[in-house]
Structure 1
Amino acid sequence: MTRRSQVEEGSTTDQRLLDSRGPSDWVHTDPWRVLRIQAEFVEGFGALAELGPAIAVFGSARTAADHPFYAIGEEAGRKLAEAGFAVITGGGPGAMEAANKGACEAGGVSVGLGIELPFESGLNQWVDKGINFRYFFARKTMFVKYSQGFVVLPGGLGTFDELFEALTLVQTQKVTSFPIVLIGTSYWQGLLDWLQGTVLAEGKINAADLDMLVVTDDVDEAVALMVAAREDRFPTPPPERPE
């Protein structure tokens, strides 16, 4: 696990990959980037292959340690760990740190999937198993592949990105048995009202699409939904009959 920042001064790897401006040397360098991208997938698959059942917890890096949602993040991480899940976050501060802390202090597996950003450095101190990524798309694959559900705390654009990608994957049946729970009804209600009152009303989604989301203020309810989905996905085999 690397705890020090991998940020290169002035730009990020994603930015250099996606920026088509400048001299034509990209013709020569981009094919070699494929090897670096491949290496990120190989590292992620190798590190997480034996992780076991896991839940991703998303939320704002800007959530202060004295904010009520930090305490809720800790509670979520702790109770998920107590229910037998590894907890995966983006490895950063704020709500991510809170969930990692809760899982770690409960004796669970606390995972952080970091990303190279110009304004964040390293993984939080509560990450037990950590990987730093240069490319968002490689990191996103790890979240979806190794998580059996998402618990989403209040957050900003990064949180919205992960939330709507998960919804799209469920809607298009790229993933199955994948519960998505939003914690914080007062925070998320405006989004739900817009989805129902505008997006659904104009026929851009189906009513069933809204059923993919559960909104609650109760961490126990969120954890119970994750446990139920795990049991549906991996039912306990009946005991063998004595001969």
Structure 2
Amino acid sequence: MTGRPTHQKGPVRLKGGQLPDTTTDQRLLDSRGDAGWVHTDPWRVLRIQAEFVEGFGALAELGPAVSVFGSARTQPDDPMYAAGEQIAARLCEAGYAVITGGGPGAMEAANKGAHECGGVSVGLGIELPHEQGMNEWVDLGVNFRYFFVRKTMFVKYAQGFIVLPGGFGTMDELFEALTLAQTGKVTSFPIVLFGSAYWGGLVDWLRETMLADGKVGAADIDMLHVTDDVDEAVSYFVARDDT
């Protein structure tokens, strides 16, 4: 056997010479029955394709932008919430759109800062079991079912990341961006970690353990810029764009 598909002329017959009860076309066109087919892999491929098309179409004319990440659990009275607002406002004043995950907490703060500054406030939402939906400060929102499609948009349409304190989701975005930059999949992609008290221990571990053990290079660690100063965080992008 070659493993190649075979083509049979005439009606497909079951064992014993019986004709099948339904045809492929009939099952496709018949609107009756359950909706199980929408969960099959071929249909998922089309939905994934549709999400890419929707994201590309919505963001194609966005212009310069920076993705701002941080915890959805950050409360409005947390100093990092105010920092997120200020960072977004400074980015707006420097001519950047602000992209977040569109949710609450640090994402809401950044969207609010961009919106109130009169800039472009973008939210890229994700379908989650307990997702609250887009925050009220999002001007341009796109919802996604698939994380990897959404992640592509964060990187493709941003000049870099500013990362506020966050949890697993924030770490996921951070280290994926580091991997893409380290492997040359993205170039000239600055990553700012805002909040030295929060991020300092991580950066120390990267240097003292990963780097010391030869698992990464010094240039890999240098891709991270840690600061507590809002203006410094934003000027890190502006300076690169001016060169």
TM-score by length of 1: 0.84
Q: Give the secondary structure class of the aligned counterpart of 1:159.
A: helix
Task: For CA contacts below 8 A with separation 6 or more, give which structure has more relative contact order.
Answer: 1
Matched, 1:64 2:75: yes
Counterparts of 1:103 and 1:212, CA distance in 2: 26
Partner of 1:186: 197
Q: Give the secondary structure class of the aligned counterpart of 1:118.
A: coil
Which among 58, 79, 93 is matched to residue 82 of structure 1?
Answer: 93
Letter paired with 2:93: E
**1:170-199 Cα distance to aligned partner (Å, 9 max, x none):** 111111111100000000011011101111
Question: 1:207: how far off?
Answer: 0.9
Counterparts of 1:71 and 1:61, CA distance in 2: 14
Aligned length: 208
Q: Give the secondary structure class of the aligned counterpart of 1:72.
A: helix
Q: Give the secondary structure class of the aligned counterpart of 2:40.
A: helix
Counterparts of 1:62 and 1:42, CA distance in 2: 31
Q: Give the secondary structure class of the aligned counterpart of 1:117.
A: coil
Which among 203, 206, 211 is matched to residue 214 of structure 2?
Answer: 203
Query: Mean Cα displacement is larger for which, 115-124 or 178-187?
Result: 115-124
Counterparts of 2:115 and 2:219, CA distance in 1: 36
**1:7-58 Cα distance to aligned partner (Å, 9 max, x none):** xxxxxxxxxxxxxxxxxx89x8111110000000000000000000000000
Which among 137, 152, 165 is matched to residue 154 of structure 1?
Answer: 165
Question: 1:121: how far off?
Answer: 2.2
Question: 1:222: how far off?
Answer: 0.7
Partner of 1:5: none
Letter paired with 1:69: M
Letter paired with 1:220: D
Structure 1 segment 24-173 matched on structure 2, within 5 A: 29-173=40-184
**1:66-97 Cα distance to aligned partner (Å, 9 max, x none):** 11000000001111001000000000000000
Report % sequence identity.
Answer: 76
**1:144-195 Cα distance to aligned partner (Å, 9 max, x none):** 0000010000000000000001111111111111110000000001101110
Letter paired with 1:131: V
Q: Give the secondary structure class of the aligned counterpart of 2:42.
A: helix
4+ long deviations beyond 4 Å:
none
Counterparts of 2:225 and 2:112, CA distance in 1: 24
Counterparts of 2:154 and 2:186, CA distance in 1: 12
Partner of 1:224: 235
RMSD: 1.4
Unaligned runs of 5+ in 1: 1-24, 233-243
Letter paired with 2:173: E
Counterparts of 2:125 and 2:241, CA distance in 1: 26
